[in-house]
């Protein structure tokens, strides 16, 4: 999966909001059919979302476009996918997955609707929302090649808070263990690791602090529910010029030393060897694909 830095949610039944989300510069937009859509509007929202996918794709060829469908237990998932698996879609945000067999149930539906609707290459973003999902996160991460990303749970008032019973704090210590399990599952399966929601819309300073701490743990992107959060996340999860220069310099220094017959050297006050060199190469590879907000407009 592309390393989305910012993934912005939009209620699926409000198409005008989708275009505003695109203008906010989010790396990916998720059109929601689940919690933000009232029950009586869900059927109509499917066609609205399908239209929005086509419209957004006509405006931007590179933005990630996804749909959060209703969970399998609702028995609405098949009808959701039947309507919204259309050309232009990249991601299915698959809620309420608790074990590997749930992923396979999604696969069976997607295999059918991809083939029928002329779509290919869809991937899942899997939110970890329950205690059972936390316990099974490693198995879920490797259950299907379609699983491209998982989300370490953080939300103050979401399903995981109710199930675990934690009391939310801005520092996030109460979710550190939960997020860390998901992070390790992502790393083990080669997935894009996302950290979860910051619900306090007007607290951009708190958002930035929380996102930076998530990046330090190893997460590489974050979910957003308001356009004002997007620039903060794009900045936090982008590589700075100083960081790029540091790692490029490390690579060059190690390669020069290796040519001179040395496998270890001093670089900017650090002892480095091949392990540092390998990390620098991997880091630079990731930095090159993390885009700045203007990159899509610049081509």
- Asked, for residue 282, whether it belongs to a domain, the answer is yes
Report the distance separating Cα 118 and Cα 178, nearest Å: 38
- Asked, for residue 120, whether it belongs to a domain, the answer is yes
Do 117 and 23 sit in the same domain of this protein? yes
pLDDT at 298 > cutoff 70: no
Whether pTM > 0.75 for this model: the answer is: yes
Report the distance separating Cα 139 and Cα 191, nearest Å: 13
Do 16 and 87 sit in the same domain of this protein? yes
Residue 60 makes CB contacts below 8 A (sequence gap 6+) with 22, 296
Do 169 and 221 sit in the same domain of this protein? yes
Taking only the tens place, the pLDDT of each residue in 233-270 is 999 999 888 999 999 999 999 999 999 999 999 999 99
Do 56 and 185 sit in the same domain of this protein? yes
Question: What CATH number is given to the structural domain containing 117?
Answer: 3.20.20.60
Q: What is the pLDDT of residue 263?
A: 93
Do 182 and 263 sit in the same domain of this protein? no
Do 208 and 292 sit in the same domain of this protein? no
Taking only the tens place, the pLDDT of each residue in 97-148 is 999 999 999 999 999 999 999 999 999 999 999 999 999 999 999 999 999 9
Do 89 and 231 sit in the same domain of this protein? yes
Q: Which residue has the higher pLDDT, 59 or 287?
A: 59
Do 123 and 188 sit in the same domain of this protein? yes
- Asked, for residue 77, whether it belongs to a domain, the answer is yes
Do 209 and 270 sit in the same domain of this protein? no
Q: What is the pLDDT of residue 289?
A: 66
Do 37 and 90 sit in the same domain of this protein? yes
pLDDT at 173 > cutoff 50: yes
Q: What is the pLDDT of residue 299?
A: 35
Residue with tokens 């701490």: 213
Residue 216 makes CB contacts below 8 A (sequence gap 6+) with none
Taking only the tens place, the pLDDT of each residue in 135-153 is 999 999 999 999 999 999 9
Do 225 and 291 sit in the same domain of this protein? no
Mean pLDDT calculated for residue range 68-91: 97
- Would strands 64-68 and 91-93 be described as parallel, antiparallel, or unpaired? parallel
Domain with 261, as residue range(s), is: 241-298
Do 154 and 269 sit in the same domain of this protein? no
- Asked, for residue 1, whether it belongs to a domain, the answer is no
- Asked, for residue 268, whether it belongs to a domain, the answer is yes
Q: Is there a contact between 80 and 44 (Cβ–Cβ < 8 Å)?
A: no
**What is the domain count for the chain?**
2
């Amino acid at each position: 999966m592309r390393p989305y830095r910012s993934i912005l949610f939009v209620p699926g039944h409000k198409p005008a909001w989708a275009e505003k989300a695109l203008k906010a510069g989010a790396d990916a937009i998720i059109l929601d059919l689940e919690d933000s859509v009232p029950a009586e509007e869900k059927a109509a929202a499917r066609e609205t979302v399908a239209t929005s996918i086509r419209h957004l794709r006509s405006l931007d060829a590179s933005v990630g476009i996804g749909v959060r469908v209703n969970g399998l237990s609702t028995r609405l998932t098949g009808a959701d996918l039947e309507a919204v698996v259309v050309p232009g879609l990249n991601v299915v945000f698959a809620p309420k997955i608790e074990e590997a067999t749930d992923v396979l149930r999604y696969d069976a539906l997607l295999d059918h609707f991809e083939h029928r609707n002329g779509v290919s290459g869809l991937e899942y973003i899997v939110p970890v929302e329950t205690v059972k999902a936390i316990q099974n996160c490693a198995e879920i991460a490797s259950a299907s090649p379609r699983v491209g990303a998982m989300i370490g749970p953080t939300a103050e008032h979401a399903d995981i808070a109710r199930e675990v019973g934690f009391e939310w704090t801005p520092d996030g210590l109460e979710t550190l263990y939960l997020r860390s399990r998901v992070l390790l599952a992502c790393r083990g399966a080669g997935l894009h690791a996302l950290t979860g929601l910051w619900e306090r819309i007007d607290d951009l300073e708190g958002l930035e602090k929380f996102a930076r701490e998530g990046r330090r743990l190893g997460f590489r992107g974050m979910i957003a529910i308001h356009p004002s959060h997007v620039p903060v996340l794009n900045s936090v999860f982008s590589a700075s010029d100083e960081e790029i220069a540091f790692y490029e310099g490390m690579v060059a220094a190690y390669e020069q030393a290796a040519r001179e017959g040395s496998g270890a050297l001093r670089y900017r006050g650090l002892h480095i060897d091949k392990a540092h060199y390998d990390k620098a190469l991997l880091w630079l590879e990731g930095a090159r694909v993390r885009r700045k907000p203007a990159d899509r407009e610049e081509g």
